[in-house]
Amino acid sequence: MVSATPLNNPDPLTAFQALAYEPYVLFLDSADTHHPDGRYAFVMCDPVEIISSNFDRLQERLALYPKHETIPDLPPFQGGAAGLFSYDLGRSLENLPNIAKPTTIPDMFVGIYDQVLAFDLRAGKGWLISHANKDKQQALLDKLGCHPEAQPKDLRHGSFASLKMTTFEPDVPPDQYKANIGRVINYIKDGDIFQANLAQRFSAPIPANFDPAAHYLKLRAHNPAPFAAYMNLGNVQISSASPERFLHISGNHVTTRPIKGTRPVCADADENTRQMNELISSEKDRAENIMIVDLLRNDLSKTCTAKSIKVPELCKLESFASVHHLVSTITGELAPDITPLDVLKHCFPGGSITGAPKIRAMEIIEELEPTRRGAYCGSIGYIGFNGAMDSNILIRTLSFEQGTVSFSAGGGITASSDIEAEYTESLDKAKAIFESFY
């Protein structure tokens, strides 16, 4: 039976610091509380089990747990499946070429969490929502410092080193990346695709005592984002300052909010206004966005009722910590007997970070990006026992594995792309990540 215990300290960051080194900790972090979607945060650890195979296996395991009604007036995730769906999980859905070098990051790493610390940031309240017994509930509360003898951890003084931009090496030289952009443009002119998302990957060695959890505190402070996340997979850690929602389900209503079109945020007010106006009036960026809207409308049509798919917002300007974006909103109503995992499976990976048509774009990505994407452009999110779902697109995302930190940045290439401008856009997106290590 599910229960909800109010927390004395309704601060998700304090809870994360207390639990940062617990097994398989996951922090779904609305770090940008000024954003309309930045309302809820969730911290969890010590899952009942881990599923690391594929969507079908997760569907089978999740079906074994009873579906629970939502406790009213509490945050929507009240226990269930949560974790990582890597970009390369898409290989289990489609027959793709095997060209790029693989990473060590698992295609899927999803826990079944029977306890979640849930926070409503607007209300300033938090709860331990639990399906576990009283002893397990008390053990978690003790780790939060609710027991007089407990000593919560403080990550603020942890070691995250200082890595300069020059420490990071791209996986291909700038000239090669620009040439690859040109090859995508040629594919478009030849009629293979309308658009493809092409990224360059940066990596750097990190000291043996480097603490990814401590670094995450700096990342979220420097580049707050409404769909930020941190997850410890054991040998791998993922931290993300993502501004992009992938799929959100409440009841039978599904929403996706793809981002396409970028300009930098500038300290000078006049220049900042110029960048915003340039983005709003850009035919290229608008066309790029609309292509992905059409792709996602098609993806949602596989699991939604006929004529229910709407586009209430098209190419809306939204500003984040380091960049301005064009964001669209697509909604739909789920068909009978459709599960959240069905929706995720039919939309994965997200169209905003693949291209159109999706499969051919993914083939070109595999050809031109020398290393597999791993977590990048996949998703972190939750699927609740109550049927609720929310997930991000893993952009502005760092992977820590085998003594190395890596991340990727890129953009959508269209027939009207300017190669130098696309290269500059990728660096604009990477800038805040580089700066988080200073």
Catalytic center residues? 244, 260
Cβ pair 323, 429 in contact under 8 A: yes
SS3 sequence, the chain? CCEEEECCCCCHHHHHHHHCCCCCCEEEECCCCCCCCCCEEEEECCCCEEECCCHHHHHHHHHCCCCCCCCCCCCCCCCEEEEEECHHHHHHCCCCCCCCECCCCCCEEEEEECEEEEEECCCCEEEEEECCCHHHHHHHHHHHHHCCCCCCCCHHHCCCCCCCHHHCEECCCHHHHHHHHHHHHHHHHCCCCCEEEEEEEEEEECCCCCCHHHHHHHHHHHCCCCEEEEEECCCEEEEEEECCEEEEEECCEEEECCEEEEEECCCCHHHHHHHHHHHHHCHHHHHHHHHHHHHHHHHHHCCECCCCCEEEEEEEEEECCCEEEEEEEEEEEECCCCCHHHHHHHHCCCHHHCEECHHHHHHHHHHHCCECCCCCCCEEEEEECCCCEEEECCCCEEEEECCEEEEEEEEEECCCCCHHHHHHHHHHHHHHHHHCCC
- Which of 411, 427, 390, 410 shows the shortest CA–CA distance to 42? 390
Cβ pair 324, 318 in contact under 8 A: yes
- Residues ≥6 apart with Cβ < 8 Å to 230: 16, 25, 26, 27, 29, 212, 213, 216, 237, 238, 239, 240
What's at 392, amino acid-wise?
A: N
Question: How many whole angstroms separate alpha carbon 223 and alpha carbon 409?
Answer: 15
End-to-end CA distance of the chain: 47
